[in-house]
Amino acid sequence: MQTDTPGPSTGHRERYPCTNEPILTPVSVTQSSSLCQDCFFEFHIEERVTPTYVGRSEWSGCPFRGLTRGEPCPRYVPRHQLQNDLAEFLGTSVEQVLARRKDIVDSKLQEAAWRAKARDTEQDILDYYENEDCYLYMYSAGLGTRSELLAPLIRFTGGRGKVLDYGCGVAAEAYWLARSGAYQVSLADLDSPHFRFAQWRFRRYGLPEGFYVLPKDRVRLFRGRFDAIICLEVIEHVTHWRQMLDDFVSSLEPGGWLLMTVGKPTPDNTLHINRLTGLTEEAYRDHLTRCGMELAHTDSPQAEFWVWRKPP
């Protein structure tokens, strides 16, 4: 756990109101990675240096070891199994899967497909994600599971509860939560190649099914109540982000958690449509604050990963 080492003059430090944890502004951050010796899950170790604290991040370590209440870490399917599963789903080889991903990256096929037609309407944008297979390969054969985002979820929820992965893609993160048996997981995304693979994969391993195809299942989805909602790399791609946030707040249980990444527009990423939708960091924060949500954590100084809490 993180401990504070007082410096010569620490002064007053701001704290997150709903968790009373200090807001530490790092002056330097270094990262490394390791593998859980039991489940082979890759996790990240982060060293943060602040004016008042030097030490290892409290979220380092495999986030799944604590789910079994002292038992050894469950032997989940290793991360590279995602590539093997995709090959099985497509009826091809792992080598062909990796070659296709390399072609997508080297030839910038994602951007080319986006620019192939005007993306001026919501339907134009939906057409891209529902028909393009680039995300299927990028997230299955490339990025894998972002364990540094799962660790705070497990910590804040106490390792159990009902979780919605909204805009789940291939559901790499939700898969691990469902495999633990400690979480009841629901998946929501567009009717797309990556979501069809996610559903196939849950069925392949006998995991409980809770699938919602957007936008047609939106009303049915948000009749439910969730202890936590994950929304990773989604908000910068949608036109209706204010309605989406309203839906999240209304369907969270009191005391529930919202974990989001908020991508910032960059000149080399045309798929982030922030400029078209009016999404800014300030607008996003103001909207959730007006909805009564309390900020619990950000990955300052980048402030792309946010944890919000709905008051009890």
The verdict on residue 46 lying in a domain is no
pLDDT at 6 over 70: no
Domain around 87 = 81-138
Going by pLDDT thresholds of 50, 70 and 90, the confidence category of residue 120 is confident
| CA 83 to mean position of chain CA atoms | 19
| pLDDT of residue 36 exceeding 70 | no
Assess whether 120 and 166 both reside in one domain. no
User: What's the pLDDT at 277?
Assistant: 82
Largest Cα–Cα separation, the chain: 63
Provide the pLDDT confidence category of residue 14 given band limits of 50, 70 and 90.
low
Both 176 and 231 in a single domain? yes
Q: Are residues 97 and 201 in the same domain?
A: no
Q: Alpha helices, DSSP H only, in 225-306? A: 241-251, 274-277, 281-290
Q: Does residue 12 have a pLDDT over 50?
A: no
- d(C-alpha 293, C-alpha 295), whole Å: 7
pTM: 0.78
Same-domain status, 286 and 181: yes
**How do beta strands 28-35 and 252-261 pair?**
unpaired
The predicted structure's pLDDT at residue 275: 73
Query: What average pLDDT does range 163-174 have in this prediction?
Result: 92
CA-nearest of 183, 145, 151, 185 to 165 is 185
Assign 152 a pLDDT band (cuts: 50, 70, 90): confident
Q: pLDDT tens-digit profile of 39-48?
A: 444 444 444 4
Is 158 found in the same domain as 105? Answer: no
pLDDT of residue 11: 39
Cα separation, 218 vs 223, whole angstroms: 9
The residue type found at 204 is: R
Looking at residue 296, what DSSP letter applies? Answer: E
pLDDT tens across 178-226, in order? 888 889 999 999 999 999 999 999 999 999 989 999 999 999 999 889 9
Mean pLDDT across the chain: 77
264 neighbors 306 (Cβ within 8 angstroms): no
Q: How many domains does the chain have?
A: 2
Closest to 162 in 3D by CA, of 223, 220, 226, 224: 226
Give the model's pLDDT for residue 15. 60
Domain co-membership, 106 together with 240: no
In 3D space, the residue among 302, 297, 312, 232 whose CA is nearest the CA of residue 16 turns out to be: 297
CB 175 within 8 A of CB 201: yes
Q: Does residue 118 lie within any of the structural domains?
A: yes
